[in-house]
A and B are shown apart, each in its own frame.
Chain A
Amino acid sequence: MRDYIIETHQLNFSFGKFKVLHDLDLRVPQSSIYGFLGPNGAGKTTTIRILLGLIKSAPNKISVFGKDLIKHRVEVLRQVGALVEMPSLYLHLSGRKNLEITRTLIGNISKNRIDEVLEIVGLTKDAHRKVKQYSLGMKQRLGLALSFLADPDLLILDEPTNGLDPNGIKEIRELIISLNRDFNKTIFVSSHLLSEVEKVATHVGIIHKGKLHFEGSIDELRDQQRPTTLIEVNNSAKAIEVLQAQNIAAASVQNGTLKIEANDKPMIHQINSSLLNAGLEVYQLSPQQSSLEDLFMNITQTAQN
C-alpha cells in the first residue's frame, strides 16, 4: 500500500511577479480525508488547479499515485475526480444528461453507473429535470456525482460547501464521509472554515499566503491546542509590564482583557498575586480551553506577523 497519494516537493508558483505558492510540501495519506485549510487568497484553489494539471507547473514537483503529474497527466487523471469551485454543469440539460456527457468523454463506464451515482447523491428523482431548475445544493451534489462517476481513487474537492445553507452543508459533509468510509476514497477537500473541516477530516494541512504552516492528523492538530487564561484588569498596559517582568507573555489583548497561555492553578495564583501587589484591580481570571478555530487563527495570524 502506498503511503501518500499526493506528494508535492518544494512546489512554487507565481502569477507574474506575485508569488502564490512558496516551497509547498504536501503529503496526502491514502484513504484519508485531507482538509486543506486556509483563509481566502491563501493559495488553496491555485494548488488544486496545479494538482489537476489545469495550471502548468515544473516537472518532478508533483507526484500523484507515485507518478509525476506532468509526465503521466492522462494516466494520473484517470484515477482522479474533481470538483473545482462551482460545479461545471450544462444548465440547459438534465442532471442525467450531464452525467451522460461525462460518461461519454471518459469512456468505459457502464450506463448503470449513472443510476448508482445519482442514488448516492440523492438525485434519482430529479435526474430528469433541467439543471437550471436545481437548487445550489442539488447542483453541488450533481457536481460531486460527476467527480466520482468514473469511480476514481482520489477526489479533489475545492470548497464544496461554498454558498450552501446549513442543511446543504450537512448533506455534502455526510456525502464526503460516506465516500471515504463506504467507498474507500481518498478525499482532498479545501475549505476556509476549520469548523467544517474538523467535522470530516482525518488529516489537515494549513496554508497561509502560499506557505504550509501545519500538516498532520487532526489529533496532532488538537495536541497543539494550549490552555489559556483570560485576565481582566483595570489597566492592561501596566498588567503586561508586570507579567513581562516575570517572563510571561500575553498572547493577545482585546478590550482590556489579556490572554495568556497557561491555566495551571499555581501559575494563576502567582499571576493574580503579582497583579494585586502591583496595585492593579483584577476583575476576572478565567481558564479557557482554546478551540481549533483559535489554533487556526493563531497559526495564520502568527504567519501574518
Chain B
Amino acid sequence: MNHIIKGLRAEYLKTHQTSIYWLLLLCPLALNILVVLLLNEVGQKWIKGETNPWKVLYFFNYNLLAEFFIVLFIAMMTSLINQVEHKGHSWKHLYALAQPRWAVYVNKSLYSVGMLFFVLFYFALMQMISGLVLSFLRPDFGFQSRDLAIIFNFTIMLKMFLAALAIWSIHHWITFRYRNFSLSIGIGLLMLIFITLTINSREWIDYIPYAYVKQVLEVKREAVPAIFTQEVWLSLGVGFVIWLGGLWDARRRDIL
C-alpha cells in the first residue's frame, strides 16, 4: 500500500503542469463548447414537445464521446503518461529503485485510470454548465423548467467509464511497453475506422472491446439505465485480463 501511495504522488509530480493536464482540461471543454454551439443553432430539431432538453444534451455529448473522442483521448492520455518515462529514459531508474517490480505498473495504472475517471466526471459536470449556458442562449428549449436528470447523466458517465476500461487496458499496456508515441494513436484510429465499418454486424460486437462504449448509449431515455449491463461486464472482464497481461509483462521484462 505504501508503494502505491508513494507511486501515485510521484506520478502526480511528474505530470503536473504538462501537456497531459491541458489535454484533460481542454478536451471535455472543447467537446462541450461544440455541443453548445450545435444545439444553439439547430437544437430545435431534437428538442421538441415533451423531450427533456437535458437528456438531449447529455446524449449529444456522450454520443460524440463514444463515436470518436474517447478512443483517441485514451490513446493520447496513456501515451502522454508513459511517454514521460520513455523520454526521460527513466524505466531503468524506476526498476532499479527499492520497490517491487509490480509497483511500477500498478502505480502507472492507478494514476492513468484515475485520470480517465476524473476527466469523465469533469465532462459530466461540464455538461450541466453547458445546459445552464443554453438556458440563457435558448430559453425556448426549456432547460430552466425541466428536471436536470443528474442521476441519468452520472449513470451514463459511470457506464461509459467502466465500458472504456477494456480500451484503456490495451492502450496502457502498449504505451507502457513501446516508446513510439504514434503507435497507440495509430491503433486507436484504426480501431475507430474498424468499428465504424462493423458496428452494424451485431454478431461480432461482443468481441470488439472498442465497441463497448458505443453500446452504453443503447438505452431508453425515459429511465435511469442499469449500470452493470452486458457491455460493462465484458469491458471489466476483458480489461482485467489484458491488465493482468500487462502486469505479468511488466514484472518479467528485462530493462535493456
Contact = CB atoms under 8 A, between A and B. Distances in A.
Interface of A: 49, 52-56, 74-75, 77-78, 80, 82, 84-93, 97, 100-102, 104-107, 146, 150
A104 B13 contact: yes
Contact of B96 (A53, A90, A93): A53
A82 B98 CA distance: 11
A304 B87 CA distance: 37
Contacts of B98: 74-75, 77-78, 80, 106, 150
B88 A90 contact: yes
Contacts of A101: 10, 13-14
Given A54-B254, A55-B255, A74-B98, A88 B6 contact: no
A87 B88 CA distance: 8
A54 B96 contact: yes
A234 B9 CA distance: 75
Contact of B255 (A49, A78, A92, A100): A49
Contacts of B95: 52-54
**DSSP class of A's interface residues: helix, strand, loop or mixed?**
loop
Contacts of A53: 95-96
**DSSP class of B's interface residues: helix, strand, loop or mixed?**
helix
A102 B93 CA distance: 9
Nearest to A131: B88
Given A78-B98, A102-B97, A105-B99, A90 B6 contact: no
B180 interface: no
Given A74-B100, A84-B92, A107 B10 contact: no
Given A86-B89, A106-B6, 17 more contacts: A52-B92, A74-B98, A74-B99, A78-B98, A80-B96, A80-B98, A82-B93, A84-B96, A87-B89, A90-B90, A93-B14, A101-B10, A101-B13, A104-B13, A105-B99, A107-B6, A150-B98
B252 interface: yes
A91 B14 CA distance: 10
B209 interface: no
A103 to B, nearest CB: 9
A55 B88 contact: no
Interface in B2-24: 2, 6-7, 9-10, 13-14, 18
A146 B93 contact: yes
5 contacts: A101-B10, A102-B97, A105-B97, A106-B98, A107-B2
Which of B18, B91, B254 gathers the greatest number of chain A CB atoms within 10 Å? Answer: B254
A81 B36 CA distance: 54
B217 interface: no
A107 B87 CA distance: 24
B20 to A, nearest CB: 11
B256 interface: yes
Contacts of B88: 88-91
A91 B84 CA distance: 9
Given A101-B10, A106-B98, A90 B84 contact: yes
Contact of A91 (B6, B87, B94, B96): B87
A-B pairs, 6 with minimum CB distance: A88-B93, A78-B98, A54-B255, A77-B98, A88-B90, A52-B96
A101 B88 CA distance: 13
B105 to A, nearest CB: 14
A267 B11 CA distance: 71
A87 B90 CA distance: 8
Interface string B7-50: 10110011000100000000000000000000000000000000
Interface in B51-87: 84, 87
A64 to B, nearest CB: 12
A94 to B, nearest CB: 11
B233 to A, nearest CB: 36
A146 B89 CA distance: 14
A19 to B, nearest CB: 16
Nearest to B84: A90
B190 to A, nearest CB: 30
B217 to A, nearest CB: 38
Contacts of A107: 2, 6
Nearest to A100: B13
Nearest to B18: A92
B96 A55 contact: no
Given A55-B255, A89-B88, A106 B14 contact: no
Given A53-B96, A74-B99, A105-B6, A90 B255 contact: no
Given A54-B92, A77-B98, A90-B84, A49 B256 contact: yes
Contacts of A90: 14, 84, 88, 90
Which of A52, A78, A146 gathers the greatest number of chain B CB atoms within 10 Å? Answer: A52
A80 B98 CA distance: 8
